[in-house]
Amino acid sequence: MSDSPQFNIMLTGELLGDRDQVISALAEMFKKEEHQIEKLISSAPIAIKKKVAREVAEKYQRAIEAKGAIVKLEPLSPEKKPMHTSWSLEPTEEELEQQDNQTAQSTEPAPLTGKANFAVKDIEQEQALTEPKQRTPDVEADNYYATPESEIVTEDRVAGQMSLRDVYFSFDGRINRSTFWLKYFLPSIGLFIVFGILFAIAPTFMSILALPISIALIWISIAVSIKRLHDIDFVGWWYLLNFIPGGGLAVLIMNGFIPGTPGSNRFGYPEE
């Protein structure tokens, strides 16, 4: 094993420029969303890479500080080696023999000998009990610009693909045009065709189900439209355009054809 010094690469949380610009630059470098970098900086000081050689550590430091974030290289203490036997708290065999000889020639009570009856508390254990536990997400060694993955953004509605349950029933978050067409509009057309066939085959049975089915479809329509409006940074009240002449077409155009705002807006982050 190499005896060369190793370092932890610590993100201090100090920034050299405008916070939004620095976060944007780091997000671009790490290929991640800005809110993920925001959480990382808010958790500082935090290790983004551990136990690396000086050359690698300095490479990370130069790249990250070029984007405006201060990085500190924390040297790791070398492995402690056993102290010389003359410094031991326990007497050596020679010292024990010398004490026995002195005891035999002296009338004074014999000094206490043997192993020291105490234990030195491990410094690292003491620090672990007294200091806040520090999260240490790591960067993959084979990918220089990979971002720390642990404990960074776990909410499905903030980043990632929204579940079908949230797409159809939640009024929070954002969905893109692809989700609108493939998971709502086109399936709705197929569903109306199926219901039309079922009403023709079993009109009495389907009339019983008509009310709950209608309520569910209205709810889904509102939920999907509101999240699509959020995606273009419009409040959900724009859905009420459906109740004025020509307004339904306007809402359909906004939902189906206007692209969402890039990055975050007041309703969150877009789907990946």
Residues 44 and 104 in one domain: no
Number of structural domains in the chain: 3
Please check whether residue 66 lies inside any domain of the structure.
yes
Residues 65 and 101 in one domain: no
Please check whether residue 139 lies inside any domain of the structure.
no
Q: Residue 177 is part of which domain span?
A: 164-257
Give this prediction's pTM: 0.44
Please check whether residue 222 lies inside any domain of the structure.
yes
Residues 173 and 252 in one domain: yes
Please check whether residue 241 lies inside any domain of the structure.
yes
Please check whether residue 190 lies inside any domain of the structure.
yes
Contact criterion met (CB below 8 Å) for 181 and 175? no
Residues 248 and 168 in one domain: yes
Reading the chain (272 residues) residue by residue, the pLDDT tens digits are 456 788 888 888 888 888 888 888 888 887 888 888 888 888 888 888 888 888 888 888 888 888 888 988 988 875 444 444 444 445 566 666 776 676 666 555 554 444 444 344 443 454 455 455 555 444 444 444 444 443 333 333 344 568 899 999 999 999 999 999 999 999 999 999 999 999 999 999 999 999 999 999 999 999 999 999 999 999 999 999 999 999 999 999 999 999 999 888 999 888 86
Please check whether residue 17 lies inside any domain of the structure.
yes
